[in-house]
Amino acid sequence: MRIDVLSLFPNMFAPMHQSIVGKAIERGKLDFQVTDFRDYTTNKHNNVDDYPFGGGAGMLLTAQPIFDAIDHIEQEAGQRGHVILMDPAGRKFDHKVAQELAGYDHLTFIAGHYEGYDERIRELVDEELSLGDYVLTGGELGAMVMIDATVRFLPEVLGNQASANTDSFEDGLLEYPQYTRPAEFRGRAVPDVLLSGNHAKIAEWRLKESLRRTYLRRPDLLTNRTLTAQERDLLDDIKSEIEEG
């Protein structure tokens, strides 16, 4: 996969060369490029923003540098790819969106700054994405989060691909509690079932604890979920246990 980012602050993306994303780059699984679109401005003062027509607060990113930067990336990569505009008004990014993005061969993120964009910039993009209902100083942090979440789904990026398949949200539930050695630490013991070797019982315990954690922390995730008969029975048990204290 190739991922390009258009940003006025390319140095902000240094952390992307660490951890899982960095390993993906080293292994040749990811071609990651950051373009300072200020380099493409034809303005004699090297400006990339200007006042909005009609007045108003703040400055808008101008269309010309971003259009030219996208054209250059298209020529270099041989394709424009899937272009994403970072914008608070965009579709909310989540686990499923990360999976969708991982299916593309080439992604280009436009990380803006200032008050907003010249509306014509939106003609370049395939979709607009947002981390949530709040505003950041710029789109760089949001783009980094989305890239990190997306790269985890690329083949052979994680040491154990099963890790991605058992993460929270993968099946619509929060992930169950997990433990490692020692079996007892400061009087706190690992649940006996996890030491039993009974894989059927372990699977049932994990499902129940996923349901419990989701019910207590994110009940909204259960609202539109069609529960299996087993899940309904386990959830009833959980509610009874909570009521009994």
Residues tagged in the binding site annotation: 112, 131-136
What percent of the chain has pLDDT above 70? Answer: 96
19 phi/psi in degrees, rounded to 5: 55, -145
Taking only the tens place, the pLDDT of each residue in 29-78 is 999 999 999 999 998 899 999 999 998 888 999 999 999 999 999 999 99
Taking only the tens place, the pLDDT of each residue in 162-187 is 555 555 576 889 999 999 999 999 99
Dihedral class, residue 78 (left if φ above 0, else alpha if ψ from -120 to 50, else beta): left
DSSP 177-218: P---S-SEETTEEPPGGGGS--HHHHHHHHHHHHHHHHHHH-
Count of Cβ atoms closer than 10 Å to residue 201 Cβ: 13
Residue 177 known to be catalytic: no
Q: Which of 61-65, 112-116, 210-214 has the lowest mean pLDDT?
A: 112-116
Tokens linked to 225 = 């979920």
* Catalytic site residue from 88, 127, 177, 225: 88
Taking only the tens place, the pLDDT of each residue in 191-204 is 999 999 999 999 99
* Catalytic site residue from 49, 87, 140, 152: 152
Q: Residue 159's pLDDT is what?
A: 66
Residue 152 known to be catalytic: yes
pTM of this prediction? 0.86
- On whether the CB atoms of residues 5 and 143 are closer than 8 A, the answer is yes
Q: Residue 163's pLDDT is what?
A: 58
Task: Name the 3-class secondary structure at 110.
Answer: strand
Residue 4 known to be catalytic: no
Complete domains list, the chain, with CATH: 2-151 (3.40.1280.10), 168-244 (1.10.1270.20)
Residues tagged in the binding site annotation for S-adenosyl-L-methionine: 112, 131-136
* Catalytic site residue from 36, 74, 115, 118: 115
Residue 167 known to be catalytic: yes
* Catalytic site residue from 118, 148, 167, 204: 167
